[in-house]
Structure 1
C-alpha cells in the first residue's frame, strides 16, 4: 500500500474551518498523461460522509437534545500537473455548517492511490483548537 493518512478530531462546537496538509511524491508507478484520483473521506460518524465509500456505524449514541452539526469538506492540490518525481501538497479542509451544531467526532481518511508516495513527516494540521487528537501517517 502507498499509505493511509488519518486525522481524528474531538467534539467540535464552532463553525471554524480546520484542515490537514500532507505531501506526496509522484512516483514511478504514475504514467504521464494519466489521471491519478486521490479520494478522501471526511466523516462526522453520524451523517453520511462527505465522500461516501463504506457504511458507517456511529461509535457513540447521539443524544437528541444536542443540535447536530453538518460537515462541508473540500480537497485541493497545489499542482494539478506535476512531473514525475515532483512533490505536491494536498489540503483537505472541513467545517461545521450549522451554527451551535455539534460534530461529536470527525475523521479524515485518505488512502493514497498507486502513483503517489507519502512524504514522511509532511502531515500537519491547520486551524483553531481543538487540534486533532490523532494524526497518523
Structure 2
C-alpha cells in the first residue's frame, strides 16, 4: 500500500514540474519575440515529463490490480487525498495547456499569414527593361 502512496507522491511531483514548465511556456509565448529554441526545449521537457507520468500511471494501475484497490479510494484517506489532488492538478494543467495551444496557434497563424502576404507581394513585383523593380 505504501508503494501506491509513493507512486501518487511521485506523480504529484511530476505534475508540479509540468505546471512550472507550462507556465514558462506561456510566458515565452506572451513575449513579443518568441524564442523558438527555448520554446522547443520547454516542449521537449514537457514531453519527457508526460512520458514519465504515463509510466508512473502504468505502475499505479498494476499496483491497484495487485492490491485489489480501485479509485475513488473512499476507504483509504491518504490515497483518496492524493488521487483528488492529482485529479485537480490535471484539470488545471489541461486548461493551461489549452491556453498555450490557442496562443501558439494564434501567434504562428499571424506569422504564417504575414509570410504568405510577403510571398504573394514578391511574386507580383515586376522588373522593367532596365532591370529595375516596378511597383
- Note whether the superposition's TM-score is higher than 0.5: no
Higher helix share: 2
Higher-RCO chain (CA-CA 8 Å, sequence separation at least 6): 1
The TM-score, its normalising length taken from structure 1, stands at: 0.21
Higher strand share: 1
The TM-score, its normalising length taken from structure 2, stands at: 0.21
Looking at CA atoms only, which structure, 1 or 2, has the larger radius of gyration? 2
